[in-house]
Chain A
Amino acid sequence: MSAETENPAVVDAQASAATRARNELARLVSYLVFGGIAVFCAWRASSLPASRWEPLGAGSFPKLVFIVLAVLCLFAVLRSLVEIQRNGGMPEAVYAFGRWLRIRRVSFAIYGLLVVYLAVLPVLGFSLATFGFLLVTQLLIAGVTRKTVIQSIIAALVFSFGLNALFADVFNVFLPRGVLIAF
């Protein structure tokens, strides 16, 4: 992690009770989600038919794994509830959650762009879609000035059309072509 990146463990050790409660609340949600998924997957795995050829069928191993995961999550939920209570309870934690999101706003914006990029990739093709993604992402990180716009356009051209040509011509690896435009 970078020097500026928040290390939750360090933060936990130094931060206020509200911060600790906020981190713990987020973890509690994750334990509940993973626990729920584990129970569902264990149930689905147990519905797989047994094998005629072997004592363990296709479902035994996943069932075992997801039951262990569910038990671990249950244990983690109980510990988390105790921790939240010790650090001021839910209201403090909910209040601090907004700050958690604010710190990560650029990260989530870039992730959103990545999702859009992957969705349009088969339609626009690698070069065009990559050009758009690189241009917007670079400007999002660096800010919009004349210098950054020129730099970003050059870098986006090189790493979209250039990389496509490199992989196709040198490595014989053909990146996705567009349905609308064959780049």
Chain B
Amino acid sequence: MLDAFLQGAHQVFAFDTLIYMLIGSVAGIVAAAIPGFTVTMAIILTLPLTFAMEPLQGISVMLSVYVGGYTGGLISAALLGIPGTPSSVATTFDAFPMARKGEPGRALSLGVWASFFGTLISTVVLIVAAPPLAVVAVRLGPWEYFSLIVFALTIVASLVGNSLIRGLIAGVIGLGIATIGPDPMMGRPRLTFDMDLLAPGLPFLVVLIGIFAISQLLGEVEIHGKKVNHALIPKSIDFKTWEVMREVLMRPVNLLRSSMVGVVIGALPGAGGSIANLLAYDQAKRSSKTPEAFGQGTADGVVASEAGNSATAGGGLIPLISLGIPGSAVDAILMASLMVHGVSVGPRLILDHADLVYGMFIALTVASFMMLVVCVASMRLFLRVTDIPKQFIVPTVMICCVIGAFALNNRVSDLYLLGAIGLVGYILKCLDYPLAPLVLGVILGPIAETNLRRALMSDGDWTVFLTRPISALLLAAAVLSVVFSIRSIWKSRKNENGKNSAPA
């Protein structure tokens, strides 16, 4: 075992491997910072470049792109209010208000440190608990998955903002959007109205960019009696990296809980960072003594979201290494990369290629340190974005959104969808609909439908959802979650009414 560990370490710490990993880390961060460019796309672009490398060298480079990518999404989320990737949606809730309050440096630093610790925690869990966790993850059937998604949908109650009814409408609109296009089981076209534009369905990323980015950018140029062409964040920039590190470490429970949410969601095949960040945020809000501070720029929200999404990196590798089952699209590409190098992935991977597996653990750790160094070193550069007048930033980011939406499938029709969804998103924003539940609905809708139909195909009895213990437990958690949310909303309204009616 020690031999295998040393062999792996020897390959990862080779000078050329470290240089390639550093380049990969920068590439991952930059790619993820552009709205529409996902970690998956960055990894796909990296894959052909690794063919000529040794297996461990190639996989180390891809892991550094992976780790960098999960963090890069926070840059545009914090500075522009636009999630760079789906896994940084929840980061916008608190990091952006914090930046707007004049603390963009703190917002970025909090996210970077939370990502760093989240990745490290997930690596430790990966090393210690990979086999047993993978066995549990794989034993879950469609019943448990459906119940898990029902539980995840209860997050909507945390994200509704000022109006429960508009939050619910937004969430259900998201579910409805996800039903357009080919049905996920049989491929039958649904609600396409014989339009070629709608035939492939609405790509999730196009919806994400349209709803969050285009609406945010259009909102930036509204005129409320003042000049429109100033910087997005005009205040001075504070930049206290080490203080912020302490701030993150002062939240051990939030950090650990969010990381564990990321690990578990990452280990479930089909789920990923896009769900993990929202679920971790929701759990942090529910267990906070000051839930009303969430959404106003609280550090807890940024830590939860970033630790949650980054921890899926280690979590996703658990079923891949233990059983040869990829936890997400990115893990599938990592698996393909190993197969290209002649390494068969499966339960025997750790026995036959122990040096490679230990090397992957080491590479993941090294990649997280590299991400930290790159982010801290380049943060001042990123913060310059906040000085740029809207005249430049709004149209340029809009063009980046157009490129991101086009590059997804190389389809011009996706751009027309982007335009239409952008307008819908802007109008919804103007009318005070919360946008996060809508995106949550789009993410979870297809997973919910697929698992519900798969479960009923194998057994048409609906009671099975309640008789299988894990499924029943998840449904019970969902019911409790809704009850607590309604109670919390009711209590906060009562408090507000009490304050309003109190004599001055």
Please report A residues at the B interface, Cβ cutoff 8 Å. 1-9, 12, 23, 26-27, 30-31, 34, 38, 41, 44-45, 48, 51, 53-56, 58-59, 61-62, 65-66, 68-69, 72-73, 75-76, 79, 100, 103-107, 110-111, 114-115, 117-118, 121-122, 130, 133-134, 137-138, 141-143, 148, 151-152, 155, 159-160, 163, 167, 171-176
A62 near B190 with CB under 8 A, answer yes
List 12 additional A-B contacts (Cβ < 8 Å) besides A5-B224, A8-B431, A173-B403.
Answer: A5-B219, A48-B190, A58-B190, A62-B176, A66-B176, A76-B169, A103-B224, A107-B219, A107-B221, A134-B396, A155-B392, A175-B406
One of B16-24, B62-70, B360-368, B448-456 contacting the partner: B448-456
**Which residues of A are found within 8 Å of B484, using beta-carbon distances?**
none
Which of B218, B221, B448, B452 has the most chain A CB atoms inside 10 A of its CB? B221
Chain A interface: which of B130-138, B178-186, B369-377?
B178-186
Say yes or no: B222 contacts A6, CB within 8 Å.
yes
- Interface positions, chain B 423-481, Cβ under 8 Å from A, are 423, 426-428, 430-433, 445, 448-449, 452-453, 456-457, 460
- B interface residues, how many (CB within 8 angstroms): 69
Distance in angstroms between the alpha carbons of A118 and B168 in the assembled complex: 32
- Alpha-carbon distance between A142 and B390 when the two chains are bound, in angstroms: 8
Contacts of B214 in A (CB 8 A): 114
> Do B391 and A142 have beta carbons less than 8 Å apart?
yes
Closest partner residue, chain A, to B394 (CB atom): A141
Do B191 and A44 touch across chains, with their CB atoms under 8 A apart?
A: yes
Q: Are B452 and A141 in contact (CB under 8 A)?
A: no
Tell me if A41 and B191 are in contact (CB < 8 A).
yes
Q: Are B219 and A138 in contact (CB under 8 A)?
A: no
Query: Does A9 contact B432, Cβ atoms closer than 8 Å?
Result: yes
In the complex, chain A residues whose CB is within 8 Å of the CB of B396: 134, 155, 159
Q: A69-B176, A176-B406 are in contact. Are A55 and B460 (CB under 8 A)?
A: yes
Contact A121 B219 (CB under 8 A): no
Given contacts A51-B186, A134-B395, A152-B391, contact A107 B100 (CB under 8 A): no
Inter-chain contacts of B165 with A (CB < 8 A): 72, 75-76, 79
Flag if B224 contacts A138 (CB, 8 Å). no
**Min distance, Cβ A180 to any Cβ of chain B, angstroms:** 15
State how many angstroms separate the Cβ of B403 from the closest Cβ of chain A. Answer: 6
Min distance, Cβ A14 to any Cβ of chain B, angstroms: 12
Say if the beta carbon of B490 comes within 8 Å of chain A. no
Whether B166 pairs with A141 at a CB distance below 8 angstroms is no
- Which residues from A are CB-within-8-Å of B288? none
A138 touches B392 (CB 8 A): yes
Residue from A23, A27, A163 whose CB has the most chain B CB atoms within 10 Å: A27
The answer to the question of B415 belonging to the interface, with a C-beta cut-off of 8 Å to chain A, is yes
A107 touches B426 (CB 8 A): yes
Those of B132-176 within 8 Å (CB) of chain A: 161-162, 165-166, 168-169, 172-173, 175-176
Show 17 residue pairs from A and B whose CB-CB distance is below 8 angstroms, ordered by the A residue.
A2-B220, A4-B225, A7-B432, A8-B430, A9-B162, A45-B190, A54-B457, A65-B172, A69-B172, A73-B169, A105-B223, A118-B402, A118-B419, A141-B390, A142-B229, A142-B391, A152-B391
Q: Which secondary structure dominates where chain B touches chain A?
A: helix
CB distance from A17 to the nearest CB of B (A): 16
| B156 CB → nearest A CB, Å | 12
The answer to whether A148 and B169 have CB atoms under 8 Å apart is no
**Does B416 reach chain A (CB closer than 8 Å)?**
yes
Contact of A58 among B185, B224, B389 (CB under 8 A): B185
Complex interface: chain A residues within 8 A of B416 (CB): 118
CB distance from A59 to the nearest CB of B (A): 7
Q: State the CA gap A115–B418 with chains docked (Å).
A: 10
Whether B176 lies near A65 (C-beta < 8 A) is yes
Q: Which residue of A lies closest to B216 (CB)?
A: A1
* Contact (Cβ within 8 A) A62 B179: yes
**CB of B223, distance to nearest CB on chain A (Å):** 6
Query: In the complex the two chains form, is B176's CB within 8 Å of A107's CB?
Result: no
Instruction: Collect the chain B residues with CB atoms within 8 Å of residue A141's CB.
Output: 221, 228-229, 390-391, 394-395
- Say whether B244 faces chain A, with CB atoms less than 8 Å apart: no
Q: How far is the CA of A65 from the CA of B199 in the complex (A)?
A: 20
Q: Mark B208-236, 1 if CB is under 8 A from A, else 0.
A: 00000010001111111110110010000
Instruction: Verify A118–B229 contact, CB threshold 8 A.
Output: no
8 A-B pairs with least C-beta separation? A8-B432, A142-B391, A62-B179, A58-B183, A137-B395, A9-B162, A107-B218, A69-B172
* Neighbour of B161 across the interface among A9, A121, A159, CB < 8 A: A9
Contact partner, A72, options B172, B219, B390, B460, Cβ 8 Å: B172
Do B173 and A34 have beta carbons less than 8 Å apart? yes
Pick the residue among A4, A31, A48 that contacts B224 (CB under 8 A).
A4
